[in-house]
Structure 1
Amino acid sequence: MKMSFRWYGDGNDTVTLDEIRQIPGVETIVWSLHHKQAGEVWETAEIEAEIARITTIPAEAAARGVTKTLDAEVVESVNVHESIKLGKTVLGLSRDEAIENYITTIQRLGRAGVKVICYNFMPVFDWLRTDLWHPLPDGSTALFYEKAVVDRMSPEQLIADMEASSGDLTLPGWEPERLASFSELNAAYVGVTHADMYRNYKYFLDAIIPTCEEYDVKLGVHPDDPPFDIFGWPRVVSNKEDLATVLSLNDSPYHGLTLCLGSFSANPEHDAVDAVTTFMDRIHFSHVRNLKHYPNGDFSEVGHRAQEGDVDTVGIMTQYAKAGYTGYIRPDHGRHLWDENTTRKPRPGYGLYDRALGIQYLLGVWDAVEYKAVDPSPRTPGTL
């Protein structure tokens, strides 16, 4: 298993690479070219420059004795253009043009050494919360979903609220350039069914998977967040049955999952541990986080420790460790702690401290399982 950490790039993240290097166990930076819009080709020079920025130790850090390096093997995300999901020309781009651009980007990322690309197949909105800074009982804040707010608000109102709450940092999935065309997108999805989405999804996979195989780049689809239809738009990666259906669309091992256990578990009926064990051989990348459900359909994101919420993070990491999982894992959507609620003000869900704490908790579970399997005898304190 390779532990990773999502980073949004110089000038677009309150967390620095220097800080990430100091988190024990982190090997991989999960990155993207966040200025690129869905459907655009990623240029080779841009890719190489960002990878060099991640993998090279700056002279100033080297002078301080820093030797720990990070790799850039995971990209999150290369966004799928809406024309691909709809199977028709929209926003000025045809499905086949968008697919050809996606193929070119895969080729260039593969040549640069990228091993996994995360993406999603959600219509219009990539994710949805109603409060980005919801106060928790311990004084921290976290992302929050209030069902009644979604039920009574229009998509246009939610877009305005998200723009007002995001601060000066970009919010992937809520890019102003894309949302400026919301009316066209909303109209384009009228009458589109789940069956239509699956049919268009298969067309996309069949077109790009040969390139993934040739360039040794695995694709991992992110579950819908939250995992149910919103505003009448059909979502097709929401539950266990959906995951099985999606994987059946193309049987190549290069087509797999970015199994986000927090997104999946936003439906309290879903069993995250069962999903991990069921789909283990097709999970290329996994996000492990926790959340707490409320009886009225609301949910709040909480600390990674299993007892903090309703997601069995211990069971999840135990299954990964027992299986000898060799993919990539990262913590997800940490709370905002300490000065992050005032002076530091990170991108919602992506502060430094709680994600660093989460990594240590997840690795602690992994180590406990791994060491017990190797040597089940009692251990002297201070030894492994």
Structure 2
Amino acid sequence: MRMVFRWYGEGNDTVTLKQIKQIPGVEGIVWALHDRLPGEEWPMDKIMAYKALADSYGLHLDVVESVNVHEDIKLGLPTRDALIGNYKRTIGKLAKVGVKTICYNFMPVFDWTRTELYKEMEDGSTALFFEKARIERMTPEELVREIALRPDLSMPGWEPERLERLGPLFEAYKGVTEEDLWSHLQYFLEQIIPVAEKHDIKMAIHPDDPPYSVFGLPRIITGQDNIRRLLKLVDSPYNCVTLCSGSLGANPANDIPAMIREFADRIPFAHIRNVRVHDNSDFIETSHRASDGTVDIVEVVRAYSDVGFTGYARPDHGRHIWDEKCRPGYGLYDRALGIMYLWGVWDLAQRGKRRADGLRAAESSV
């Protein structure tokens, strides 16, 4: 397991590269050009500037999250071919700085959805929260006013430029079914995966967050059956999934360890975080500790150990603790604590695996 840490760039993140470098076992940053809108080709000079900055701290840029997919591609509009052309050229440029994995998603309109950014927990910390009944009685415009317009720092997936088109976007998605979205995703992958293969970059789709329809929009990457279907759309080792235990874990029916074991060779990137799901389907993001949430993080990490996972992993979201003022879900302290918890479980799982392997070797020699 290769630990990485998401970073939003100078002037757009409260966490510094100096701080990231001091977290044990972290070897690289998960990054993106957040000033680029979906569909734009990334300029090489800005990519190189990011690389120079990461290099100065001895951190790599192997994982990009995300090269966002333009809504016209998701909608299957005639303009998609030119936008896919921009995407292909961006892949080629990213290969030049050593990128090995691109995380992306295919969620219509909203990349992720929450109803509160700083919901207070029992211990006084705050965290991202989703109230299902509330989302069902809100309009998208109300959600944007309450959530997207509040933070001082930009939130990917909730860019003002994108949300200014909210009305026309929802109108465009009227009548778009899940099967339509599957078809548009297949078209995209058929165009992109050969380019990814050429440049040795894994394309790793992120599951829908939450893993069910919100505001009537179609959602298709929601569970084990759908991931199985995704990987067959273009049967290539470069057509992969970013397995996110938090997004998928918002539906307790999803068996995350089983997914890890089934899709092990198609998971180049793991998001490992916990959520506590209530009986009414509300959920809140918790610490990484298994007993604090609904997702058994110990079993998740053990599954990665069992399959010999050598891909990239990050602690994903964290709570806001010790009065830290930070981007929602992306402070330093709780994510650093999460990393140390993950390393502890990983080290014990690896030790147990070595002991079991040694016992089997001893028995076979008798």
TM-score range, shorter chain: over 0.9
- Listed one character per residue, the Cα deviations across residues 138-167 of structure 1 (whole Å, up to 9, x for unaligned) are 11000000011101000010011113432x
Match of 1:104 among 89, 97, 101: 89
Q: Does 1:349 align with 2:338?
A: no
Q: Take 1:267 and 1:362, find their aligned partners in 2: how far apart are those partners?
A: 22
Deviation at 1:272, TM superposition (A): 1.2
Moved over 6 A (4+): none
Deviation at 1:276, TM superposition (A): 1.1
Deviation at 1:172, TM superposition (A): 0.5
Match of 2:102 among 94, 100, 117: 117
Deviation at 1:70, TM superposition (A): 1.2
**Counterpart for residue 7 of structure 2:** 7
Question: SS in structure 2 opposite 1:339?
Answer: coil
Q: Take 1:259 and 1:374, find their aligned partners in 2: how far apart are those partners?
A: 25
Q: Take 1:73 and 1:157, find their aligned partners in 2: how far apart are those partners?
A: 37
Q: Take 1:322 and 1:270, find their aligned partners in 2: how far apart are those partners?
A: 19
**Counterpart for residue 381 of structure 1:** none
**Counterpart for residue 113 of structure 2:** 128
**Counterpart for residue 224 of structure 2:** 240
Q: Is this contact kept in 2: 1:130–1:149, CA < 8 A?
A: yes
Deviation at 1:87, TM superposition (A): 0.5
Matches within 5 A, 1:135-284: 135-166=120-151, 168-284=152-268
Percent sequence identity over aligned pairs: 54
- Listed one character per residue, the Cα deviations across residues 170-228 of structure 1 (whole Å, up to 9, x for unaligned) are 00000000111111111110100111111111110010111101111111000000000
Letter aligned with residue 144 of structure 1: F
Question: SS in structure 2 opposite 1:29?
Answer: strand
**Counterpart for residue 320 of structure 2:** 336
Q: Is this contact kept in 2: 1:132–1:165, CA < 8 A?
A: no
TM (norm. structure 2) is 0.96
Range moving further from structure 2, 361-370 or 219-228: 361-370
Q: Take 2:320 and 2:35, find their aligned partners in 1: how far apart are those partners?
A: 25
Matches within 5 A, 1:8-157: 8-57=8-57, 69-89=58-78, 94-157=79-142
Q: Take 2:147 and 2:18, find their aligned partners in 1: how far apart are those partners?
A: 30
Q: Take 1:321 and 1:373, find their aligned partners in 2: how far apart are those partners?
A: 8
Q: Is this contact kept in 2: 1:123–1:234, CA < 8 A?
A: yes
Match of 1:374 among 354, 358, 364: 354
Q: Is this contact kept in 1: 2:61–2:97, CA < 8 A?
A: no
Deviation at 1:268, TM superposition (A): 1.6
In the alignment, structure 2 segments of 5+ residues that lack a partner are: 359-366
Q: Take 2:316 and 2:101, find their aligned partners in 1: how far apart are those partners?
A: 17
- Listed one character per residue, the Cα deviations across residues 253-304 of structure 1 (whole Å, up to 9, x for unaligned) are 0110011110001012111111111111111101000011111111111000
Letter aligned with residue 345 of structure 2: V
Deviation at 1:109, TM superposition (A): 0.3
Q: Is this contact kept in 2: 1:302–1:309, CA < 8 A?
A: yes
Question: SS in structure 2 opposite 1:19?
Answer: helix
Deviation at 1:322, TM superposition (A): 1.7
Q: Is this contact kept in 1: 2:271–2:313, CA < 8 A?
A: yes
**Counterpart for residue 309 of structure 2:** 325
Match of 2:339 among 359, 364, 367: 359
Letter aligned with residue 5 of structure 2: F
| RMSD (Å) for aligned C-alpha atoms | 1.1
